[in-house]
């Protein structure tokens, strides 16, 4: 396997891990803490509290205090919350 193939495989595995770790279910963005830190629970954020950029930013601020938060989890949360709120993140660049 070439280095490029290894990088692609690693990126694919990371993406799959993030899909299992941060996902939408029953009107919530769910963060599976078992995957992150072996805690037998989830952290559920109601989608109706992520309706606009201000609310999403408020959640980012709150999440940033969590010891289990990683950059990848935060990016996935922002991507999902923004998509659900109809915010095009790429239009802001």
Q: pLDDT tens digits for the chain (93 residues)? A: 788 888 787 778 777 889 999 999 999 999 999 988 988 999 999 999 999 999 999 999 999 999 999 999 999 999 999 999 999 988 756
Query: The pTM is what?
Result: 0.86
Task: Look at the chain and report how many structural domains it folds into.
Answer: 1
Which residue segment(s) compose the domain that 21 sits in? 3-92
Provide the H-helix boundaries in 1-93.
Answer: 3-21, 33-37, 53-63, 71-85
Q: Phi, psi (5° rounding) for residue 42?
A: -125, 160
């Amino acid at each position: 396997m070439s280095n490029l193939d290894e990088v692609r495989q690693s990126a694919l595995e990371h993406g799959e891990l993030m899909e299992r770790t941060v996902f939408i279910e029953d009107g919530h963005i769910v963060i599976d803490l078992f995957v992150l830190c072996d805690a037998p629970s989830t952290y559920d954020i109601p989608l109706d509290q992520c309706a606009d950029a201000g609310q999403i930013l408020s959640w980012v601020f709150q999440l940033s205090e969590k010891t289990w938060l990683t950059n990848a989890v935060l990016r996935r949360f922002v991507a999902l919350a923004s998509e659900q709120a109809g915010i095009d993140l790429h239009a802001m660049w």
